[in-house]
Amino acid sequence: MSESLPQLSLGAATFGLKSSNRAETFVRLQGKDEVQPLMDLFKSFGYKEVDTARIYTDSEAALGELDKSSLADLRISTKVHPFITPLTIENILQQFDESLAALGVENVDLLYLHHPDDKTPIEESLEGVDILYKQGKIRRFGLSNHSPSQVDEIVSICKSKGYIAPTMYQGLYSPIARTGYLEIRDLLKKHGIHYYAYGIMAAGLLTGKNKFDEEPKEDARLHSTSFLSGHLRERYWHREVFAALDLLAKAAEKEGIPFAQATNRWMRHHSGLTKEDGILVGASSFKQLEQNLLDLEMGPLSPTLVDAYENAWKSVEHRRIAAPGSSDKVK
């Protein structure tokens, strides 16, 4: 573990119970027998942050099944979501209490507002978060998928009302989807808010396993039977995106580096993220998590490969993939 690089947080969206429905969820790891080894592996690398959410089906409950010693020194972040119930004070408190019950803990490190809520005045949502903070149930507050103008408004309200202010922001960021990060980073820096990147492998596309004219494997998020495939294909499934992916795959192959490893190393060393920022590391198997962690521990890429990543980005920049405030609501 390096103290000078972006922090790593274990993304628990793929965690579920043995009874969880894989077909219409993120779940790929079911029950304590499958989840506990990943948590132990992650901690063995020296990392102690885990990220979940109320909307991630049984993710919180899966974490709650783990050995209590596994959770004791973890920094847990979770999220309340307006797609479950509008983020009124009452609903925020209820969603969060359900999270605590599922996790089997009395408090968490960080609570995010998972997505903007167009049905509830933001002042009310922020008051709900502040109540939880004053009750000692959360230590920090963050935002996810909010636009720059929404972040600015929220910070202003928190300051004027004396509420806990956001210090973390979670957003989509990968080598081919940089618009959201680039458009909000200066504002976040101004307000002292740190950035945590999710979706760094672009739904698996930055591993080189998919071809534009071929159907992804059945268990993949991009497969036509996946509940997310429509949104994700709208986001990524374009010939010019695959042309950029091909450019990167060939550049990595030329240097004898697996494509996924090159992407992990780009995110850790060349993305502009600092040691106060972070990267969500996801996995659908023990082997995949182990390889991701090993890759993320490696050093920077060669200048030639970094240039390839820049050229690939320039070729798709105009698509504005998942820009803040866009209609793209997938996570």
Distance CA 267, CA 122 (A): 32
Distance CA 90, CA 224 (A): 38
**Using an 8 Å Cβ cutoff, are 268 and 5 in contact?**
yes
The DSSP 8-state label assigned to residue 313 in this structure reads: H
| The predicted structure's pLDDT at residue 21 | 85
Confidence of residue 324 (pLDDT cuts 50, 70, 90): low
Confidence of residue 331 (pLDDT cuts 50, 70, 90): very low
Mean pLDDT of all residues in 260-279: 99
**Using an 8 Å Cβ cutoff, are 109 and 100 in contact?**
no
| The predicted structure's pLDDT at residue 330 | 40
Q: Could you tell me whether strands 108-113 and 278-281 are parallel, antiparallel, or unpaired per DSSP bridges?
A: unpaired
Q: Is the pLDDT of residue 327 over 50?
A: no
Does CATH number 3.20.20.100 belong to domain 7-202+267-298?
A: yes
Q: Is the pLDDT of residue 83 over 80?
A: yes
The DSSP 8-state label assigned to residue 4 in this structure reads: S
Which conformational region is residue 177 in: left (phi greater than 0), alpha (psi within -120 to 50 degrees), or beta? Answer: beta
Q: Is the pLDDT of residue 197 over 80?
A: yes
**Is 112 noted as a catalytic residue in this protein?**
no
Enter the tokens of residue 32.
Answer: 């304590």
- Which of 119-128, 188-197, 223-232 has the least mean pLDDT? 223-232
Domain boundaries, the chain: 7-202+267-298
- For the chain, what percent of residues have pLDDT higher than 70? 93
Distance CA 203, CA 135 (A): 37
3-state secondary structure 153-177: HHHHHHHHHCCCCCCEEEEECECCE
By CB atoms closer than 10 A (0-12, 13-18, 19+), residue 54 is buried
Distance CA 115, CA 239 (A): 29
| The predicted structure's pLDDT at residue 213 | 86
Enter the tokens of residue 207.
Answer: 């591993």
Q: What are phi and psi of 181, to 5 degrees?
A: -65, -45
Confidence of residue 47 (pLDDT cuts 50, 70, 90): very high
- Virtual torsion, Cα 186, 74, 270, 174, nearest 10 deg: -80
The strand ranges marked E within 159-281 are 168-172, 194-198, 278-281
Average pLDDT score, the chain: 93
Q: What is the maximal distance between C-alpha atoms in the chain?
A: 56
| The predicted structure's pLDDT at residue 233 | 85
Q: Is the pLDDT of residue 325 over 80?
A: no
Q: What are phi and psi of 19, to 5 degrees?
A: -90, 0
Q: Is the pLDDT of residue 1 over 50?
A: yes
Cα-Cα-Cα-Cα dihedral sign, residues 329, 101, 78, 14: negative
Task: List, for residues 205-262, the tens digit of each pLDDT value.
Answer: 999 988 888 887 655 666 656 656 777 888 999 999 999 999 999 999 999 999 999 9
Bridge partners of 10, per DSSP, are 50, 281
Helix pair 32-44, 286-296: axis angle to 10 deg: 10
Mean pLDDT of all residues in 91-111: 98
By CB atoms closer than 10 A (0-12, 13-18, 19+), residue 104 is middle
By CB atoms closer than 10 A (0-12, 13-18, 19+), residue 160 is exposed
Mean pLDDT of all residues in 80-91: 98
Among residues 56, 112, 173, 195, the one annotated as catalytic is 56
For the whole model, what pTM was predicted? 0.94
- Which of 19-23, 170-174, 308-312 has the least mean pLDDT? 19-23
